[in-house]
Structure 1
Amino acid sequence: MVNELQAQAARQRITAAYAAHEWAPHPNIDFGDLRATRKLAWAELESAGAPLDAPGQRIYLLGFVGPGPSLKLGMVTRTPSSPDNSVRQYLRSHERRAEAYRCFLVRAWISRPVRTMVRDWEQKALNAVGALDGTDRDGEYFYGADFDAAVAAAKAARKNSLAH
């Protein structure tokens, strides 16, 4: 079992390897590092949005390394009648889709549930992240986005939104 410090070091190695690498096939990485990095991202997601199965609407950001976009920002809703683990399954579907293109989850954040107007918050967050220096936007996907700056921009966008 990898502890959190080891997982953070693994994340740094994976991120640095991809940052220094051009295109395909892929940098020479340790798949143990990749697994530890993924587990850390999911642990951070669970911590930020605990409990993930609480009803409500949320904004999430998924950070990836690989030849595709570096960030996905979106919203997810869980109603009281939704099946258990529906939020986790929804986010996992984005991770699987990225993996098909050899992009790997390295960072993740999700908001606590809000009751209404999350779509307004999402639009403001998409615009705020898209306005970050060095970031190119393609719908809900971003290239060159700094994950921490994107989370800060998304959180700040909530203050200007109608979400509550």
Structure 2
Amino acid sequence: MWTGIFAFTNLLALAAWAILILLPRKPLAMAAVLYCGIGLLCLMYSVLLVLLATGAVDPLRDAGLPPPGLADYSVAGLKSLFRSDGAIVLGWTHYLAFDLFVGLWIARDADAKGFGRVAQAPVLLATFLAGPLGLFAWLTIRERRARAQGRWE
């Protein structure tokens, strides 16, 4: 089950990223990325979170392990929390949804600031592959143009 959900979320995210990077930024394409990409990933995350947290589909733990300390935000505590396939798929879906949301924001911001699609593509690709790296690159690149336009949004 978890392998199938994992594969589906990856395929969904990949399709949305392909639309974002390769297709013209028409309203229908952007709506598809927002609602069919980000929205569906968020819905899947929400359902999985409830099912996992209630133990309806997976006890969030491999058999025989003690319950995780949900308030333990140390490295060891977080490692302990992600000790099942379901928890890994849940965490990965979280990453996919948020990185895609950041990519959509970067694309819209870049369009608004007059950056061409060729200049956007490496930043979007970096965001797809390593979210915070791409976001940091975009924040650095956009700074001069944002100041020149006198806007920070």
User: Normalising by the residue count of structure 2, what TM-score does the alignment of the two structures yield?
Assistant: 0.34
Higher strand share: 1
Tell which structure's C-alpha radius of gyration is larger. Answer: 2
Higher helix share: 2
User: Normalising by the residue count of structure 1, what TM-score does the alignment of the two structures yield?
Assistant: 0.33
